[in-house]
Amino acid sequence: MGVMPVQRVQGRVQGKSRHKGVVGGMKTWAMLGVLALSSLGTSAAVAARTMETKFGEVSLPDGQPQRVVTLYEGALDAAIAMGITPLGAVASRGAEGVASYIQPQAEGVQIVGTSRETNLEAVIALQPDLILASSSLPEAQYQLLSSVAPTVVPDVPSFQADSWQQETRLFAQALNRTAQGEQVTNAVAERAAEVKAELVQRVPADQRDAYLMRWMPQGPLVMAPTIFSARILAEAGFDVHDGGLVKEGRPHSSPLSLENLTKADGHWMFLATLNDDGEQALEAAKKSPAFERLDVVQQDRVFPVNGQLWTSASGPLAAQAILQRIEQVMDSTKP
Amino acid sequence: MSNQHTTPRMLPLLVSGSLILAVTVLASLLLGAGEISPARAWAALWGYGSDEALFVLYELRGPRTLIGALVGVALGCAGALMQAVSRNPLAEPGLLGVSAGSSFAVALALVLGASISTLTVFVAQAGALVGCALVMTAARLNGLGHNPVRLILAGATLTSLLMALTSLLLMFDQRSADEIRFWVIGSVAGRDMSQAIQVLPFIGVALGLLAFIARPLAALALGESVARGLGEKPARIRLISVLVVALLVGSATAIAGPIAFLGLVVPYIARHFTGPDIRRTLWLSAVIGPILLIAADTCSRLLAAPAEMPLGVMTALLGAPVLIVMIRARRMPLL
């Protein structure tokens, strides 16, 4: 409800300022609008920076954005990686706060919603000067948000090999930290190359097949090789498969029949649940005889992973955390 | 089956019912969402075939068929009993909140720190008992008992309330959220056989009690004063009925979660063959229950292969049309 007046005031300002040259007599209206804008905390300065987003060109605040709100886990990750702590962020999927891997750096970040639902009033209350959102933000949401502050929705298709790098670069541009954006993405590439070198040296090429699973009470899910963490696994040298169980364009399969679990039996398995406790997922899975008899389980090559990090997060810091876990896994399997 | 209430007409019914049950069980063993074909499963049934086939047959399809049979008997009989006691053809544990009470009790116990393997059977039964007592009291409230649809409304309200409370618990405690979800979704796949064995005596006791109260129940169907005149004690019969329903529904929920509509459809079909006499409806329900549940479970595997559809969805698809037909029928049969 609180959004409506904001929209109205700002709509008027934009409408009038467009005609300012023609209708000089409306100056007072524009002044009023500027006042309204500044009272909202939105930068009233003439925007010098613009960037292309999914919903067209967006004018960005001049200089360094001060009051950033991220409505996407990948944006929170990218912002913190570039040294900017947002005022507000959305909770990790199925959790009350941000994902645990990023918690230490996200002290004091206020939760303004979940990945599915944004609390608009909470966003307005933070008086942001920049909003970073996910590429899947619906246009109606965008319209509301962009009346609060310039909103950057990356025009990047999901599930591509370089989706997260492209997104990070766009967020870097919005945050006026293009150089840092390059730096953090390159750092991930370097680290991944190191991990890959180790893997290539130790594991023969035909033993690098890996499955990423989520163990749910309804049944196990196979995650798609196109999702963020699977891309990182691939960059680190694993051959990530889905056993033909994931439909095109989906992040994961439907809950599988236990009869089909053998289709996800390879040399490596990374196992998560929706929340951050991978160990618990492994405990639950081990109660199932169908899981226990998999080769990968018999060979002791199942590794519990943090579901928030591996099945919900994205961004350069998440990539680093995933690579760190992969290194741990490699170390633990040293002969 | 050799008790005096079984009239000659019952015998062919029970025999043909048992034959259909045998066919259903066989179908459940031979068909699945996995790659083990009916032919291979048939061979495995006689001990031949690969480890994989033997495992699928004896560790996956076998147990779920057995659990399905148990749950089918429990819910079918509980439905028939509830309908007889409330003299309402729409009474059903799923629709009247007994299953929801059971789920809620389990959720509450988990949030309070119980472990999933210890308390659940008793907790589920306690929850069912409370839900059952509540709804049976509602059924006896002035004016409600003689209006089947109003009782269903009361039950639906109780169910929504309990489900909302369960959701609330899920929100408060993310950690047990996954474990609780297990109890919110009805399914017989991948369930623990040891728990099925644990509830077996309860179902046995409940069926024994049923045999004991079948005759008084039939007397009660003639009206309270007639029953008294025949030397029965209506209050005691009702109390035992509530106990039996709680034992049956609690046991079913403990091993398979809440499964709606089965308790509605099974006695409906049984009555079609036997007429309203509870002594016959009950025993035929004990055969039709497992037939329907196992058939629904088999369909749920085939329709969404390689994934599986939740069993609760299947039974709802089966049951909802029956409910609509019953409500739309011009003269609702009063029991």
Residue spans per domain, chain B: 10-328
B301 touches chain A (CB under 8 A): yes
Q: So what's the pLDDT on residue A1?
A: 36
User: Does the pLDDT at position A259 exceed 70?
Assistant: yes
pLDDT digits (tens, 9 = 90+) for B271-320: 888 888 888 899 899 999 999 999 999 998 888 877 888 888 888 888 88
Helix (H) or strand (E) holding B275: none
B177–A253 CB contact, under 8 Å = no
CA distance B77 to chain A (A): 27
**A217 in contact with B at a CB cutoff of 8 Å?**
yes
Distance (Å) from the alpha carbon of A98 to chain B's nearest alpha carbon: 14
Going by the DSSP 8-state scheme, the letter that residue A25 receives in this structure is G
Taking the Cβ of residue B182 and every Cβ of chain A, the question of whether any pair is shorter than 8 Å is answered with yes
A88-128 pLDDT, tens per residue?
A: 999 987 677 899 899 999 999 999 988 778 899 999 999 99
CB contact (8 A) between residue A257 and residue B181: no
B10-328: CATH topology: ABC transporter involved in vitamin B12 uptake, BtuC (1.10.3470)
Contacts of A284 in chain B (CB under 8 A): 178
Spatial distance between the Cα atoms of A120 and B275, rounded to a whole number of angstroms: 60
CATH H superfamily, domain A45-176:
Nitrogenase molybdenum iron protein domain (3.40.50.1980)
Interface check for A257 against chain B (CB to CB < 8 A): the answer is yes
Q: How many residue pairs bridge chain A and chain B with CB atoms within 8 Å of each other?
A: 75
- Residue A111's pLDDT is what? 94
For residue A11, pLDDT beyond 90 = no
> What does the pLDDT look like over A159-213, one tens digit per residue?
888 899 999 999 999 999 999 999 999 999 999 999 999 999 999 999 999 999 9
Question: Does B250 have pLDDT greater than 60?
Answer: yes
Are B190 and A95 a contacting pair at CB < 8 A? no
Query: Does A260 reach chain B within 8 Å, measured CB to CB?
Result: yes
- Specify the CATH number of the domain A195-332: 3.40.50.1980
pLDDT at A176: 93
Q: What is the pLDDT of residue A85?
A: 95
Q: What is the pLDDT of residue B305?
A: 76
Cα–Cα distances (Å) from B143 to B147, B151, B235, in that order, read 7, 10, 19
Do residue A275 and residue B178 have CB atoms under 8 angstroms apart? Answer: yes
Q: SS3 for A277? A: coil
B33 shares contact with chain A (CB less than 8 Å): yes
Cβ neighbourhood burial of B332 (10 Å; 0-12, 13-18, 19+): middle
A111 in reach of chain B (CB within 8 A): no
Report DSSP state, residue B57.
Answer: I
Buried b (16+ CB within 10 A) or exposed e, A147-172: bbbbbbbbebebbeeebbbbbbbbbb
With a cut of 70, say whether residue B33 has pLDDT above it: yes
Q: Any idea where the domains of chain A sit in the sequence? A: 1-40, 45-176, 195-332
B195 CB neighbours in chain A (<8 A) are: none
Q: Which residues of B touch A288 (CB under 8 A)?
A: 190
Contact (CB, 8 A) for A308 and A115:
no
Closest partner residue to A288 (CB to CB) among B35, B61, B190 is: B190
Q: Look at residue A23 and tell me whether its pLDDT is greater than 50.
A: no
Check A255 against B185: CB less than 8 A apart.
no
Interface contact flag, A256 B307, Cβ < 8 Å: yes
Residue of A213, A218, A273, A276 best to disrupt the B interface, most CBs of B under 10 A: A218
The reply to whether residue A94 touches residue B177, judged by beta carbons under 8 angstroms, is yes
pLDDT at B135 over 80: no
Identify which of B52, B55, B174 has the shortest CB distance to residue A275: B174
Q: Residues A2-6: what's their mean pLDDT? A: 40
Pairwise CA distance, residues B18 & A304, whole Å: 46
What is the signed CA dihedral for B156, B160, B166, B169, rounded to 10 degrees? -150
**Least reliable range by pLDDT among A67-71, B171-175, B193-197, B252-256:** B171-175
Nearest residue to A252 via CA among A296, A211, A301, A287? A211
Cis peptide leading into residue B306 (ω within 30°): yes
Chain B CB within 8 Å of residue A284 CB: yes
Check CB contact under 8 Å for A257 and B307: yes
